[in-house]
Amino acid sequence: MLGWRKQVESIEVAEKKHGYFPQRFRWHGHMYIVNRVERCWTVKSRRWGRWVERLCFRVRCPEGVFDVYQDLRGNTWHIVKAGASL
């Protein structure tokens, strides 16, 4: 039996709504348009002796539901989980 493997990949956020919510992002060469943000939360934890701060979003696009986050220290965006539905 195969278990769930958590995978994180970089994405490019091309547009934000209200300067905060991801509106369009590019992943694997495809542009995804966000229809709505279903959930938003923050994560602040201590890892490897330093603080990690993230803004996390669960977004719905025509292609499916995606969990993405912004790493506030590096101002980089990542996708954590992708699927047809969550």
Q: pLDDT tens digits for 23-68?
A: 999 999 999 999 999 999 999 877 677 777 999 999 999 999 999 9
Q: What is the pLDDT of residues 68-81, one digit of tens each?
A: 999 998 899 999 86
69-78 contacts, C-beta under 8 A, 24 or more apart:
69/43, 70/13, 76/10, 77/10, 77/11, 77/12, 77/13, 77/22, 77/25, 78/8, 78/9, 78/10, 78/11
Break the chain into its structural domains and give their ranges: 35-86
